[in-house]
Amino acid sequence: MSDNPFFAPSTLVYELPPFAEIREEHYRPAFDRGMADQLAEAAAIAANPEPPTFENTVVALERSGAVLRRVTAAFFNQDSSDTTPGIQELDAEISPRLAAHADAIHLDAALFARLDALHAARHELGLDAESLRLLERRHTAFVRAGARLDADGQRRLREINAELAADAAAFRKNTHDASLAGAVAVDSAAALDGLSATAVAAAAENARALGQDGRWVLSLKNFSNQSELAALTDRALRERLLTASLRRGLDTNGPLAARMAALRAERAALLGHPSHASYVVADETAGTVEAVSAMLGRLVAPAVANAEREAADLAAAAAADGIAELAAHDWAFYAEKVRAERYEVDTAALRPYFELERVLRDGVFHAANLAYGLTFTERPDLTAYHPDARVFEVFDADGSALGLFIGDFHARESKRGGAWMNELVPQSRLLGTRPVVVNNLNIARPAPGEAALLSWDEVRTLFHEFGHALHGLFSDVHYPSFAGTEVPRDFVEFPSQVNEMWMTRPEVLAHYARHHVTGEPLDAAVVERMLAAENYGQGFRTVEYLAAALLDWAWHTRTAADPVVADPEEFEARALAGAGIALAAVPPRYRTGYFNHVFSNGYSAGYYAYIWSEVLDAETVEWFGANGRGVRESGQLFRERLLSRGGSRDALECVRDVLGREPEIGPLLARRGLE
């Protein structure tokens, strides 16, 4: 169709995709043309009779695939944020085709020969530092994609990649469907005793949106321990809610995960690695399986000891209510009671001080102004992909236009769980593009006329995801392959975790933590107790996270010689016990049945990245507070030396540029009480 909006660059500001014109039927033709165009461009590069040069080979590859780049960004954003049965069906069809398309380019012998020749002579080409890095990274990508395999190896690799892409699409759909099916409905508001009136109203609104008028529905978040567990007084309902969360997806996604782990192990063996984990970390900042295993192993014993001490406190509180044995569905409830008694902080009572709009504008945006000089103007004249999604234009300290930020904050049936950042348009001087980035959260939609009040964890998530957004917005690179968050997977969480620090900085917290009705600031004494209470429960949080990271590690350190796992649930139990982290009352943050991070979203053998990045984060937070500079000056240095560089420099070199030395693990251990 000649009027397909993906066939030409968008004429909107910042090349924002023309969502008002995009219809579902535009996607397949755009994928067809996008892949055909890029294959033709790659073939022309490979067949060029001129000797290979950086411009006619590497830069030409960077410029290729414009239509495919546009449609891929819009499609997978919609698949995550506003999916439909048609989108899910197309995902199942298109994901294997995209895998085959990537293979067709990476396994083109003539194309690789040109790249290989340039790589061999790279130090004699007179390239600037970013161009040299692009050549090296492109060459590495081809080699890691199998360019040096023989014909039989490449044939099997293509088969594996296609199967894995199809399986990942199926895993995404299954998780979405299982989470919807697992939603817990009750027939009276009284059953939700303990939840705030706002949360009860939101559950009624959720039920209405799901076609269950007259009921109250608690939809499942993507992680194991649901936030309502901290407040619900009905123990049986708590058990029902947690069971629904932990059991979802096991029947459909359990066997799929086992198959995917086996295929990944086989692919790793083809590419010369003993396991998928070895293959993954070889191209990350961690470097080796041993380095990751040592770091995770060092944390297990002190984390478990902390959790067991916390469990003793909670068991005593539960015993006072006649509960003989603390269960997993009791933990959050009694942790909240103990926290309230010990620190005199009722986290549910704090929600009125964390209204979404105020946290966004007077918290997240205010912190970005303090640290980096940014200002934000909402653009209601620009149409996003869903009515909930709001577009903001971002301006630099000197008033110049920087990019667009799209905030899509509310949960809905068509959105997958969790929170994430997408790039719709990458920054690139080569392509002449500026960044358009999206943050997605899943905050319960309030009842009509009511304010959206956040939990403390949701406030943290808002700051965290905006850290990813800043990474994209501050990108200042020439080549699109290096834009924004195009960095090693075990580094990408670092800037977002650093941005969490602003939520508790006095000059930021005092600015946004105000009662949504009266405007009264949160009492300073409450703030002090709340910050002290922040450290309570580190044992639980660390064990919950480590259990998920070690479960991912167990799936992906398997070898090609290992048989396919027959019973994923039993495998989970053995893996956690073997790692010394099998606490019945602390389930992993994600179980296999809904572990989208590692089975469909690119974090396979990489969930360790959060705590690996937190080592750098803890160091940087200390640097911000103790380097003798003001916040604005420190922010500018952090932006120039690290956030703006994307993947154009080695990630750890950027960290050393900021800190002035090698990072150390001590601040992380102190933060998590693991010394």
Alpha helix segments (H runs only) across 425-537? 456-473, 493-499, 506-512, 524-534
Q: For residue 70, give the amino acid letter.
A: R
CB distance 437 to 407 below 8 Å: no
Q: For residue 645, give the amino acid letter.
A: R
Cβ neighbours for 320, distance < 8 A, ≥ 6 positions apart: none
Task: List the catalytic residues.
Answer: 465
Phi, psi angle pair for 591, to nearest 5°: -100, 170
Bridge partners of 523?
A: none
Structure tokens at 300: 């297990």
Which among 271, 291, 306, 134 has a CA at the least distance from the CA of 609? 291
DSSP E strand stretches across 117-250 = 184-186, 216-218
Phi, psi angle pair for 428, to nearest 5°: -165, 125
Structure tokens at 23: 């219809």
Phi, psi angle pair for 319, to nearest 5°: -60, -35
CB distance 231 to 340 below 8 Å: no
> Which of the 8 DSSP states describes residue 217?
E
* C-alpha span between 191 and 542 (Å, rounded): 31
* C-alpha span between 527 and 627 (Å, rounded): 25
Q: Which residue has the tokens 């296609």?
A: 162
* C-alpha span between 182 and 223 (Å, rounded): 13
